[in-house]
A = this chain, B = another copy of it.
């Protein structure tokens, strides 16, 4: 395992195939958006929120007692952190950790110089150009999980890439986990709806990974939200306890639409996020010191005329680009950004907002970008077409963070000599161009680069229409990653038993 307490530097990748790193590794230094004084101002205000207002722990007596013992002041289920306690409790969480995949070559590293992309998650509707918008089903979830497996730009699974409306709410996590453990061999997320669901998904991972691996590594990432402002729900705390005690990492995610769950101004958003994350990570450390946790965030704006959420706005971009810098101060892996939008379709708005919601956060040093493929309509719908366009853009972001190569080949001195000696004015035929043509640029993906005439001849397709053909081809090409038949059967038995043991609940 590679849990590490350090600020920078690269993990040992010797175990990974050198020709296909499982996640992207940054060559560019992270872009620090805030001045040193601004960082201190945010930290000071976060300390004030933690101390004066405190964090509502939903009356969880056991947890409150742990905080009391750690030095906090607890009043009416609200935990007030004296100055420095948040930092102190966060300090035992690792700055880097490995998410172990069932295919070891797919295990990814969170933190440090690493960049991991995951798909849309917790999305009720699906849409595609053929069938339009409808509630997600088991079949849709299987297809979307296959697309995760087939997308080089995506390194990690979501949990409910779409929700599965054709299964009872209290049994959905079983099918979701089954898909993540059978249809893909990339790292997985765990169920978080209830502590029971969390335990079920952990039990299912034991069938595949074995107890030793589950107990000694991190096989399941739990997505949990703070109940902003400055609170954690009782059920979230119970779920955090299950995963933390099992030494499985959690995302601590303030879900903030500025002006609703926080003040409307971004300095306040940052301070509140910084306070809430410290509290959440502290919770994980009180349940199990040294357990990994991610400084997560979901921050966006609203249209203040209507109250509707807005995405990719400059104000939310600024917040998302500042958050990685704040996380580095705590030495924690950080999630920020996403390919997110309010648009209902894969149009210009959708892709502009998605790009704007992602780029600055990635340049700023985000380690993990969830909601990076498929998202439409404020997260209510996942689009098969947008999924494949977004997933290719993840590849572009992966290339971006590598930065520019500087070596003798990159300066191409010989090419100038060759062109000059030939008396030419173009590098199109130069030996250097041929030698580098396969590696110089990433593949153009679904981008149309043809002439207007050729594009017209080919049907004047938009990128959405080209993407429609692409995801179908990917599903046609899909092959399940190898899994021992007996393990597969044991998983199916587990799901069947659990489903049989309880009545359906549709709440």
Contact = CB atoms under 8 A, between A and B. Distances in A.
Nearest to A418: B263
A271 interface: yes
A440 to B, nearest CB: 4
B310 A406 contact: no
Contact of A393 (B271, B352, B381, B405): B352
Given A309-B449, A354-B352, A420-B53, A263 B432 contact: yes
A413 interface: yes
Interface string A311-352: 001110111001000000000000000000011111111111
Interface string A295-311: 00000011111111110
Interface stretch (A92-100, A155-163, A356-364): A356-364
Interface stretch (A31-39, A206-214, A236-244): A31-39
Nearest to A316: B441
A265 B411 contact: yes
A415 B268 contact: yes
Contact of A410 (B267, B313, B360, B399): B267
Contacts of A314: 396-397, 399-400, 442
Interface stretch (A111-119, A189-197, A459-467): A459-467
Given A264-B433, A359-B360, A343 B463 contact: yes
A167 interface: no
Interface range on chain A (Cβ under 8 Å from partner): 35 or more
A10 B259 CA distance: 32
A53 B417 CA distance: 8
Interface stretch (A174-182, A246-254, A421-429, A494-502): A421-429
Given A351-B355, A449-B342, A452-B377, A426 B45 contact: no
A463 B406 contact: no
A411 B45 contact: yes
A304 B352 contact: no
Nearest to A54: B420
B268 A344 contact: no
Contacts of A351: 347-349, 351-352, 355
Q: Which of A265, A344, A356 has most chain B Cβ within 10 Å?
A: A265
B448 A342 contact: yes
A450 interface: yes
Contacts of A71: none
A350 B446 CA distance: 12
Nearest to A447: B349
B403 A265 contact: no
A307 B411 CA distance: 21
B348 A389 contact: yes
Given A363-B363, A433-B259, A450-B308, A315 B267 contact: no
A183 interface: no
A407 B42 CA distance: 11
A270 interface: yes
B348 A427 contact: no
Nearest to A315: B441
Given A28-B33, A38-B406, A449 B399 contact: no
Contacts of A359: 355-356, 359-360
A266 interface: yes
Given A259-B437, A377-B452, A264 B427 contact: yes
Contacts of A356: 355, 359, 396
Contacts of A38: 404, 406
Contacts of A407: 267
Nearest to A345: B462
A407 B263 CA distance: 14
A149 interface: no
A353 interface: yes
A382 interface: no
Given A315-B399, A416-B49, A452-B380, A462 B349 contact: yes
Nearest to A356: B355
A453 to B, nearest CB: 10
A48 interface: yes
Given A259-B437, A352-B355, 4 more contacts: A264-B436, A265-B436, A303-B444, A314-B400
9 contacts: A31-B31, A264-B441, A267-B405, A319-B404, A342-B449, A344-B460, A346-B347, A349-B446, A363-B363
